[in-house]
């Protein structure tokens, strides 16, 4: 388990994932997938594919959430 604290703002994107993603895919490649995708579903697909392309054999779970303002 990894635990950290960050200050978050509207528009920030949170990535929750299993070791099937963060094991085989380095942080810079994860960031590149997120930046290259047009939307969150596409980013999730790219991240899973990147893990598979790098030989990921474990469960690959990706959840992306954009923080939005509300009243």
Residue 32 inside a domain? The answer is yes
Residue 51 inside a domain? The answer is yes
- CB within 8 A of 38, min separation 6: which ones? none
Q: pTM for the full model?
A: 0.84
Domain that holds residue 43: 13-66
Residue 8 inside a domain? The answer is no
Q: How many CB atoms lie within 10 A of CB 50?
A: 19
Exposure string of 32-42, with b = 16+ CB inside 10 Å and e = fewer, is: ebbeebeebee
**pLDDT-based confidence at 2, cuts 50/70/90?**
confident
Residue 2 inside a domain? The answer is no
Residue 6 inside a domain? The answer is no
Tell me how many domains the chain contains.
Answer: 1
Q: Mapping DSSP to helix (H, G, I), strand (E, B) and coil, where does residue 45 land?
A: helix
Residue 71 inside a domain? The answer is no
Q: Give residue-wise pLDDT tens across range 12-54.
A: 999 999 999 998 999 999 999 999 998 999 999 999 999 999 9
């Amino acid at each position: 388990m990894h635990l950290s604290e960050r200050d978050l703002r509207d528009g920030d994107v949170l990535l929750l994932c299993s070791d099937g993603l963060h094991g085989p895919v380095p942080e810079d490649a994860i960031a590149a997938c997120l930046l290259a995708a047009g939307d969150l579903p596409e980013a999730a697909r790219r991240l899973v594919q990147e893990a598979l392309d790098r030989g990921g054999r474990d469960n690959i779970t990706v959840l992306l959430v954009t923080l939005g303002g509300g009243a």
